Chains A and B, each alone.
Chain A
Amino acid sequence: MKKTYLQITLFSALATLMVSCSHQNSHTDENFQYHRDVASGKNCENVRNAEYHSYFDSVEKCLENQKD
């Protein structure tokens, strides 16, 4: 049982380390901030907030256009 707990702890620590390392991007990447802005929807904040049924469609379209 002790061995099992130790193994689980080691795996969890290893997983955390490997996942966080794989997510590191260079902050000097000139497109990094742009992608962050797109992700946060900052460039799509002025989507026309007029109509309930089309609002989420408009946001989705804006985010897709930003990606393009």
Chain B
Amino acid sequence: MKKLSWLLVCSLGLFTSKAHAFDTSLRGFIALDALNFEKISGEKASSVMGIGVLDLKVFAQKDDMGVAIKMDLDGKLDKRYNIFEEAYVTYRGIPDTKLMLGKGVVRFQNLHWGAVVNSYQDGGTVISTENSFRKFSRKAFMAASYGSEKMGFINQVTVWGDSSEINTSSSDGSPETTMSSGKISGYKTSDVTAFDTKKQIGFANKLDLFFNKHLKMNLSGIYYKNRLITRPTYGVDVGLNYESDKMEIWMDALWGVTSKLPYESFTTYKKYEYFMQLGMEYFLTEKWSVLSNNEYLLVNDQQYTYDATASDNFTKVSGNLNRSHTYKIELAAKYKFHESAFVTLGALYENKRTTSNGVKDLDYIRNVYNPNTEAYKLLSSVSFWF
């Protein structure tokens, strides 16, 4: 007890002599859906009201070190560590260089909110889309960026892994499955704070080019390999942003290939997807602006062929090739009633057409939600920045 006491006193002495306060800043964004009206063809119309988005981010900085924690308060908080969408440290001791380590977003796409709802890349749909390439968030990552706007470019390289790993058998390394009613229903997974490179590894590179103070372009690539599957996931993205006092224009184009294990959620043997987004905001006055956002998604999804004798829930599916075209058109008007708040009134039209093995107009296709349908949405929302 005596030894422990002296150890504690010495530790306290060391700790407090080095203790310094970090400069901290708390920021947040809230979007409240005041009254939304949705109508999907074949279903009853519905009114939706509530919290659309709720995010808080804490920044702390001291000398060359920084810490950032972003809490996803509107996410699925029942999953372990899910409340922390981002939690990373940064080091900027080397000129024009930034090192980052922790959990967060892998920089790849040129993400941009639409006019009424979020982009397809971040779940902004009424009908439901078939794309696998979404915002790469909640990934364990290590990144290094070099450059600055003054230099005309910033290049960021990221090594990353998923925060959920499939458990494998210690004897033969095969994935452990879950059973439901005597049939395979999925895989046993573990939520991890740090990924194991023996199980998975991902790489990404994003090059931002600054042509002048108005125009910016990104060229990006991403690669991911789960060692339980021979086919990797990879993609490229090109984006453009133009900003001036009168308008903002954004564009993003993505091509990607995804492969997953046969019993994973939203599984695919091989999926090719092509995404395009083009939008504009025009500032009529200091307070009023009008927006338009248009997106198109083409997905060719080759499903697995399952062994008909296997004891799983998928024996009825046999190598279907599902091809879906989804697009949406958004128009909105925005009124800035305060320096940090605005109201958005807008409308959205969305359409989805899916064929399965070349057959059109099917009402039901396995693993495809709302395969052939269209939808309308009228939205009024209030957004606050702080």
Contacts of B12 in A (CB 8 A): 11, 14-15, 18
Contact partners of B5 in chain A: CB under 8 A = 7
Among A22, A44, A50, contact of B20 (Cβ-Cβ < 8 Å):
A22
Residues of A with C-beta under 8 A to B57: 56, 59
- Contact across chains for A11 and B25 when beta carbons are under 8 A apart: no
Q: Is the CB of B385 within 8 A of A49?
A: yes
Closest-CB distance, A10 to chain B (whole angstroms): 9
Q: Is the CB–CB distance between B385 and A55 below 8 Å?
A: yes
Q: Which of B5, B23, B53 has the most CB of A within 10 A?
A: B23
1/0 contact trace for A14-35 toward B, CB 8 Å? 1100110111000000000001
Interface of A is mostly: helix
Interface residues contributed by chain A, number (CB under 8 Å): 30
Q: A44 → chain B, closest Cβ, in Å? A: 8
The reply to whether the CB of B236 lies closer than 8 angstroms to some CB of chain A is: no
Give the interface segment out of B111-119, B193-201, B301-309, B364-372. Answer: B111-119
Docked pose: A55 CA to B21 CA in angstroms = 26
**B residues within 8 A CB of A44?**
25
Pick from B20, B25, B66, B122: contact of A40, CB below 8 A. B25
Cα–Cα distance between A23 and B59 once the two chains are bound (Å)? 19
**Alpha-carbon gap, A29 to B31, bound state (A):** 40
User: Any chain B CB within 8 A of the CB of A53?
Assistant: yes
CB pair B23–A38 under 8 Å, yes or no, is yes
Q: Which of A14, A52, A60 has the most CB of B within 10 A?
A: A52
